[in-house]
């Protein structure tokens, strides 16, 4: 059980890093200074580059979850948890790659955050 918590903590740290780097301007709200800096950063933003950056971050999370899902030392319920998470991330990546609608991308990322909160953070 201790190792499972360690895995969850490792993955959640990576997820928090991904969230802090999340690049859709509509996704992040903060103090006015931060908002100004974000506007400057995205003054000439290119949607494809932003989507590519987000999918790279999700790809790292996917690889980590998949590695845990394939770990033969884990018992079946733990491996299923990581498998479900990796599938959810893959679906999120697919939505971002296929879609141009930022509202849909925001909604999908929010669903992923809720899934993580429900299944990893609360399930420690």
Which one is predicted more confidently, 64 or 19? 64
pLDDT value at residue 8: 86
Structural tokens at position 105: 């991308």
Which run of H or of E encompasses 85?
helix 76-98
Integer Cα distance of 76 and 3 in angstroms: 14
Integer Cα distance of 7 and 11 in angstroms: 6
Integer Cα distance of 48 and 36 in angstroms: 22
Q: pLDDT tens, 46-84?
A: 677 778 888 889 999 999 999 999 988 888 988 999 999
Tell me which residue of 38, 33, 84 sits closest to 62, measured CA to CA. Answer: 84
pTM above 0.85, yes or no: no
Integer Cα distance of 70 and 72 in angstroms: 6
Q: pLDDT band at 9, cuts 50/70/90? A: confident
pLDDT value at residue 36: 52
6 phi/psi in degrees, rounded to 5 = -65, -40
Q: pLDDT band at 30, cuts 50/70/90? A: very low
Do residues 58 and 109 lie in contact, with contact meaning Cβ atoms separated by under 8 Å?
A: no
Q: pLDDT band at 89, cuts 50/70/90? A: very high
Structural tokens at position 55: 């999918």
Tell me which residue of 87, 43, 93 sits closest to 65, measured CA to CA. Answer: 87
pLDDT value at residue 66: 93
> Does residue 15 carry a pLDDT above 80?
yes
> Does residue 27 carry a pLDDT above 50?
no
Q: What percent of the chain has pLDDT over 90?
A: 26
């Amino acid at each position: 059980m201790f190792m499972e918590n360690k895995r969850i903590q490792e993955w959640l740290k990576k997820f928090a890093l991904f969230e802090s780097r999340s690049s859709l301007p509509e996704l992040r709200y903060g103090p006015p200074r931060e908002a100004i800096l974000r506007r400057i950063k995205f003054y000439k933003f290119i949607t494809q580059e932003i989507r590519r950056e987000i999918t790279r971050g999700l790809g790292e999370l996917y690889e980590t979850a998949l590695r845990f899902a394939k770990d033969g030392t884990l018992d079946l319920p733990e491996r299923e948890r990581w498998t479900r998470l990796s599938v959810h991330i893959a679906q999120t990546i697919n939505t971002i790659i296929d879609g141009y609608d930022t509202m849909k991308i925001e909604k999908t990322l929010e669903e992923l955050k809720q899934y993580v909160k429900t299944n990893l953070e609360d399930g420690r």
